[in-house]
Chain A
Amino acid sequence: MKEELIISGRMNPGIDPFLHIWHWHIPVYLFLGGLAAGILFFAALYTIMGREKEMPTAVKWATFVVPVALVFGLMALFFDLKHQMFFWQLYTTVRIESPMSWGAWVLMFITPLSMLWAASYIKEAIPSWEWKFKILDQIMTLVDKYRKTLAWAMLALAIILGIYTGILLSAFNARPLWNTSLLGPLFLVSGMSTGAATILWMSKDHYERRIMSMIDLVLIVVEIFFIIHLFMGFLASTAVQIEAADLFLGGQFTVSFWVFVVILGLVFPAILEILELSGRKIPAAIPALLILFGGLALRFIMVEAGQLTRYFY
């Protein structure tokens, strides 16, 4: 029986007895970032496919949520920083090997882009709207003119935004629970699923709802597939990964993960959407809210559990 202890009384705040340096700010940002990525992905996709008329909420109205989500997400990130006055240092360099650097730059581009995109549809939503400054009118005309180009840029940026949050966590090889290349795709699909759920909830168009329901269903199935493979991967990995997986397979996160994330957040909404698609009337708010809740729960659990997993002691 081998026992390893720190005997010099180390109790570094945030590090001991186990790592707890990231709190609610990070999961909230991961959720809002994923949501923004999902909505912008569908907005860009349907614009590129030329289907703005059939998918008005996806292309136009849901994107109004995105700048709000991104600003709140960025604020959460800012408040998590411990050396806040130096946050601008992020923008003095591009470090390709650091996913956090990619994220800082992607957000730098996607936030104003999402604001421009949403703003370009304000006149359609509120016909009496007049921009205060003439330059804004000119900018909106430019946005309309280069809509397809902006859509392609937004598609790429949305995918990077959605996937980098998972890649960021997986780059921390010291946290065995996160150190899996499946985390990036999992977070991307989860983000797209929450985006689709929001569009589904906001949409008043029956055709659009049907399409988003079907897409969401596919995304949920893919997400469940990824989760199963996530755990298969852990169990087939080294001792530290098996210990990490054990947190979810009998350990302290078992109930919260499988009930809140999988059953309430994925399986149950999938069943409701199948029922809706086969004719039963289900208020769209229910599966949408459950999916959003599941996405938030997934991120909270992954961030907290990840910090518990380690190589030592």
Chain B
Amino acid sequence: MRYAMAIDTRKCVGCSDCVVACQTENNVPIGYCRDWITETVDGSYPNVEIELRTERCNHCDNAPCVRCCPTGASHIVDGGAVLVTPNKCIGCGACIQSCPYDARYSHPEGYVDKCTFCNHRVIKGEQPACVSVCPTKCMYFGDLDDPDSDVSKALKNRKYKALAPEAGTKPHIFYMI
């Protein structure tokens, strides 16, 4: 079982509903966000191409944050989600330094926080908060090892990319381009 997310960049409108849903669902402190929207503009008017992406922790297979954590607070659970155990975290910041995607931040309570793929919802069979509120339904989440899951079906016939594959992290958020 390997959870992954696929995002259709041609359908994302950059509304930031996913950002707000995540903050609400996960009690993210004001001023912090676990996911964000990026806009990549190529060229200039009238030959412009814009790509909108919603980004978050990529729950990498070869997660540098898990490798660098001195206490094991940063760990990978069944299904591949990368999680942080708050009372094992000493707040050293090594994981923050090692994430190429800048997905982590230091929670005001001291431990390190980030997107959890809404693990608390997924184990109950629900979708992550961001996926469930997206108005254009451009986000797909599921088990990559299951050919019938939403995410596998979404990726089957489309070209897709991952972010910074050269960083060697083996990320599991795929952007359909």
Give chain A's interface residues, CB within 8 Å of chain B: 1-16, 19, 21-22, 80-87, 89-90, 92-93, 95, 97-101, 103-104, 168, 171-175, 238, 307, 310-313
Across the interface, B105 reaches (CB within 8 A) one of A2, A13, A80, namely: A13
Complex: A154 Cα to B164 Cα, angstroms: 42
**CB-defined contacts of A8 to chain B, threshold 8 Å:** 14, 16, 19, 33, 36-37
Chain B residue at minimum C-beta to C-beta distance from A5: B39
Cβ-defined contact, A22 with B93, below 8 A: yes
Cβ-defined contact, A104 with B70, below 8 A: yes
Q: Does B46 contact A (CB under 8 A)?
A: no
Cβ-defined contact, B37 with A7, below 8 A: yes
Q: Does B10 contact A (CB under 8 A)?
A: no
Q: Nearest chain A CB to B94's CB is how many angstroms away?
A: 5
Chain A residue at minimum C-beta to C-beta distance from B114: A12
Cβ-defined contact, A3 with B41, below 8 A: yes
With A2-B41, A15-B96, A100-B70 known, 18 other A-B pairs at CB within 8 A are A4-B40, A8-B16, A13-B105, A14-B105, A21-B96, A81-B91, A82-B91, A86-B87, A90-B70, A103-B70, A168-B94, A171-B68, A172-B64, A172-B94, A173-B98, A173-B100, A175-B98, A311-B164
Complex interface bits, B40-84 against A, C-beta within 8 A gives 1, otherwise 0:
111110000000000000000000100111111100000000000
Using C-beta atoms within 8 Å of the partner chain, give the interface range for chain B. 35 or more
Describe B's contact surface by its main secondary structure: loop
**CB-defined contacts of B104 to chain A, threshold 8 Å:** 15
Q: Does B146 contact A (CB under 8 A)?
A: no
Give chain B's interface residues, CB within 8 Å of chain A: 14, 16, 19, 31-33, 36-44, 64, 67-73, 86-94, 96-102, 104-106, 109-111, 163-164, 166-168
Cβ-defined contact, B92 with A15, below 8 A: no
Cβ-defined contact, A173 with B88, below 8 A: no
**CB-defined contacts of B86 to chain A, threshold 8 Å:** 83
Complex: A90 Cα to B73 Cα, angstroms: 10
Chain A residue at minimum C-beta to C-beta distance from B87: A86
**CB-defined contacts of B36 to chain A, threshold 8 Å:** 6, 8-10
**CB-defined contacts of A19 to chain B, threshold 8 Å:** 96-97, 102
On whether A95 and B72 interact (CB within 8 A), knowing A8-B36, A90-B90, A311-B164, the answer reads yes
- What are the 7 A-B residue pairs with the smallest beta carbon separation, nearest first? A82-B91, A83-B110, A83-B91, A100-B70, A174-B100, A8-B37, A12-B105
Chain A residue at minimum C-beta to C-beta distance from B19: A8
**CB-defined contacts of A89 to chain B, threshold 8 Å:** 71, 73, 87-90
Q: Nearest chain A CB to B23's CB is how many angstroms away?
A: 11
Across the interface, B99 reaches (CB within 8 A) one of A83, A87, A98, A174, namely: A174
On whether A172 and B68 interact (CB within 8 A), knowing A6-B36, A22-B93, the answer reads yes
Complex: A99 Cα to B98 Cα, angstroms: 12
Cβ-defined contact, B88 with A7, below 8 A: no
Cβ-defined contact, B67 with A174, below 8 A: no
Complex: A136 Cα to B111 Cα, angstroms: 40
Cβ-defined contact, A81 with B92, below 8 A: yes
Chain A residue at minimum C-beta to C-beta distance from B100: A174
Across the interface, A86 reaches (CB within 8 A) one of B64, B69, B89, namely: B89
Cβ-defined contact, B166 with A101, below 8 A: no
Q: Nearest chain A CB to B174's CB is how many angstroms away?
A: 17
Complex: A85 Cα to B44 Cα, angstroms: 53
Q: Which residue, A6, A12, A98, A104, has most C-beta atoms of chain B within 10 A? A: A12
